[in-house]
Structure 1
């Protein structure tokens, strides 16, 4: 049975219809994926949704995923022609390309690295207080060339970076795994960040943002990481990193938190430190605990600070399209942006069929794409299509505008692009019933039939 989706623009009174209006559909079962759908008149019983461009919220940076070591190794390992085709598809901004405009790098190893390393490793018991051994050499074979290729395709790509651990010799326990930053290493660690940012800038990769610790409430037992309380993070930023960046004339923004929605008090604690607040640009959130509404609560407390969503992974805990696509669309593409996120990042851009390469950590994570290393075959996963519902259409500099949902089964978000086009994403939460909708923008009405569990992007 063929699914029919109706979408059309009707003029109110004598107003002429727009010259171009388009709609793309992904069904909840994944049988149709960002499929162009025909325009037909709206149904008379449609539920009403209002889009109001006069109510303006955050200006968007972009959507994307992290170029981890695993992602870099897999993409760099492809043959030149298919690699170029994949990169154009992911980062290109022509019609039909994914249009990713935001990415995240790891400062040293994460769990998705085949070895555990920092950019200044020393033998056990030895230290390098002058950072003479500092080098980004571990990234030169894969991560760095992939990022540079992405920037060549999309020069407006925004890059951020996050560390999983300081060098082992800066930590209690002298290990990348566990421990915490030694009090006498705070100044050195700030210099380490400066060296990293300078080294990447010298390669033509300027970091727009960074965080100082990935998931600082979690100390993993099989890959680099550490706990770092909010008050101590604030002291590091206010007394060490912020002044070091200023002295080096580096304007990279510092984002606090970089962990789940369930600890709103932590970034509030960090910003209660006046010295840190001077240098903290905003806050970064992950999806693995709490509720997306924490973002709006933070924004209400600090409307002058930026909000970003910086990590969520698909995986075996959300098998199949119905669970995985629904969660990604509802919580991230709609939920996170409606709650003030200027940028939305998923976790690994690419993984292999065994959820690697990796050393420790998640053994059933899913990348935006899966690459078979022996053949170079690429599978575009449900996260690819969920991202595409906004990344293909919402351009850098777009502003989120008001979209009123009058029915609990339908969730929406809308944006006004710099070229004055309007983009709206609508999702039918119900897994059983299709809904007829009437989307109103200015003096125009857009009618559509939204299948159960489906998402539609409208560009007006």
Structure 2
């Protein structure tokens, strides 16, 4: 095999050192020949709120986001068929959506939280809450292991009948965790008077499912954490031949320097336990089936998650990492948080779900490291940056994930190979950058690793990215929404893979204004409004009072604004508890979103609005303190392109307005080219109550349709591209949709009305 060595300015998992005070260049080498465990997959759990997701009116978009968007390769679900007569259609809906999008490129692991109530000593699904221990019950002096195994088989047969086929099962989630408030069951390493044995229960399940159609593999013991040799204590007492892989959670490490809520931010506390696991469990694949912060979300959670994932592969030798809550309902948790499907009037987001920070941590792995890839050893010299590296078995594709957990940026350069190129993808909360391709990588390039950031360098055999020259008249005149615009460009080469054409709003914040600014009594210090324009500024804006205060962002021109990002500072005096987001439209402030809380890393989407002024209006608060405030632009796909396509007739929709640019993206996210910005304006040929309105013409069901916002008589002519007139006269229009008695066959038609001329494509 050809050996390719990559000298990367990164960090390896095995280095130690003093944290630098300023940014440095760091060296790392990654060798394709030094490989260890094979990757099984990356993913998350969809365990609770299944009925929410299956009933959501935007569930297809949710499924696209978590399955396609992440490139998911591992999915964990719960076995909730304690009653085998109940429907499991919600689980089936989610599983079918995953299969539709991912095919065979993922595995599903199913864990049981408890046995049926009739098999438990305490007679209920929950754990012990005083009284009888929540373990298997006894009959005639023996625990009902055989009945537990029989139930597992029957539950699997139920899922199979609904098209759900787990690849792996875990007979009991956290058998060492007796939870009084949710479904749980205790199984100890050794059998005692009132607690059944995990090993005996495992034996019964393995025997019961042996030989069944679609027989799953078994993982275990899936204990709460890896501290104090907890997983080893279980494995020592069971028949290891019954397990196809070891599984466990990361909720404790055995090191108590940072307990409870501090645990998540200190992944290095796990290193000693990881090293022990790597030795003791080297005979089988290891799957980390659950971990999360178990607290309210905090800034940089995505960094902590990516960091412990890297440590898990580097030290523990895991083959798969499964985050706890891939989807979650209503309470703010999850990689994607989903709002209640039956109460869309209360949604805080346009689509009823929001992508959160840990989604991006997972994506840095799942999208760029595929099942069957191999982990590679890496070594470096700087303790700020954690690295982990993978390659495919052919050795022609590799990905290096870098976690800069330090407070300063570092430079990164790759060297030592010639035939690779690729993309640099980054997430940096302080810069409001999330899973963004920040640049192409070519040999000799140097790129920055921002403080508290995640970077994936995805490398493939060098491919030719064509140069694109955008041609006039695109950049020479103003486009109008509703018209068909001929787009032209010249390619230096064909696209190396599937490419698509997008439009996006171009936003530039040029200033801010506030109703007030807090200053101390002598005016020597204050929290000023300009502070919130810089994401890297450690200062903030604060208002003098706690009600009816506002802060406004001013754009350099009109553009389609579709959301905002806000980072609120929490102080001892309280936070914002009632607010409106407003856009300046037709000479007045219009509310586009209302809410009762903001907090850290707040983001919200709303229907695109063409405006050049956006403001946060705070109605009531304990105190008003904003670290950062910016706007999000609208955008969307225009069309897919074929390999050598150099033109497209774009019917500009009403959603496109203001300053925009065009961009060509490859299927892997690589940006081929972005045009210079240009303006799309709304037609304003008539007035309605003193305010300007737009006119739009299109073809629907072979008939010309004219949308008007007022009653008017309009001169109209229609001809084909050769100038043959098919209609010329006046039409009487009413406000709204008007179907005209003008039938148009397929072709391009020139429409003249008022002072406007445009093309429409039928």
Q: TM-score, normalised by structure 1?
A: 0.75
C-alpha contact 1:51 1:441 (8 A) present in aligned 2: no
Alignment of 1:33-432 (within 5 A): 46-70=25-49, 72-79=50-57, 82-92=58-68, 97-108=69-80, 118-120=81-83, 134-135=84-85, 137-140=86-89, 142-156=90-104, 157-178=106-127, 179-182=134-137, 183-231=142-190, 232-238=197-203, 240-248=204-212, 251-263=215-227, 265-273=229-237, 276-290=239-253, 291-293=269-271, 294-314=273-293, 316-317=295-296, 319-322=297-300, 324-332=301-309, 334-338=310-314, 339-354=316-331, 366-373=333-340, 374-375=343-344, 376-418=351-393, 420-431=396-407
1:436 CA displacement:
1.7
In structure 1, the partner of 2:480 is: none
Which residues of structure 1 form unaligned runs of 5+? 1-14, 18-43, 109-117, 121-133, 356-365
Alpha-carbon distance in 2 for matches of 1:202, 1:138: 11
Higher strand share: 2
Cα contact 1:264–1:298 (8 A) shared by 2: no
Does structure 1 conserve the Cα–Cα contact (< 8 Å) formed by 2:25 and 2:412? yes
Measured at CA, do residues 174 and 412 of structure 1 come closer, stay the same or move farther in structure 2, by a change above 3 Å?
same
Q: CA deviation at 1:248?
A: 3.0
* 8 A contact 2:188–2:234 mirrored in 1: no
- Work out the CA distance in 2 between the residues paired with 1:170 and 1:335: 39
Alignment CA distance shift 1:46-1:209 (3 Å) = same
Which structure: larger Rg? 2
Q: For residue 25 of structure 1, what is the aligned residue in structure 2?
A: none
Once the two structures are superposed, residues 89-148 of structure 1 have per-residue CA deviations (whole angstroms, 9 ceiling, x without a partner) of 3212xxxx211111111112xxxxxxxxx522xxxxxxxxxxxxx23x3421x2221111
Contact preservation (8 Å) 1:314, 1:383: no
SS in structure 2 of the partner of residue 194 of structure 1: helix
More helix by share: 1
Distance apart, 1:314 and its partner CA: 4.2
Call closer, same or farther: CA 1:351–1:269 in 2, change over 3 Å: closer
Verify the 8 A CA contact 1:60 1:399 in the aligned structure 2: yes
Change (3 A) 1:270 1:351: closer
TM-score (ref. length: structure 2):
0.46
Instruction: For residue 205 of structure 1, report the CA deviation from its aligned partner.
Output: 2.4
* Contact map agreement 1:422 1:459 (CA 8 A) in 2: yes
Higher RCO structure, 1 or 2 (CA under 8 Å, sep 6+): 1
8 Å CA contact 2:92, 2:163 repeated in 1: no
Inter-CA distance 54–410: structure 2 relative to 1 (3 Å threshold):
same
Q: Hey, what's the Cα distance between the residues in 1 that align with 2:294 and 2:188?
A: 29
| Gapped regions of structure 2 (runs ≥ 5) | 7-22, 128-133, 191-196, 254-268, 345-350, 419-442, 460-762
SS at match of 1:100: coil
Question: What is aligned with 1:40?
Answer: none
Paired positions, count: 372
CA 257–445 in structure 1, closer or farther in 2 if over 3 Å, else same: farther
Q: Choose 221-230 or 196-205, whichever is displaced more.
A: 196-205
Deviation (angstroms), 1:180: 0.5
SS of structure 2 residue aligned to 1:50: strand
Map Cα deviations across residues 259-288 of structure 1 (whole Å, 9 max, x no partner): 2333453433443346x2111122212222
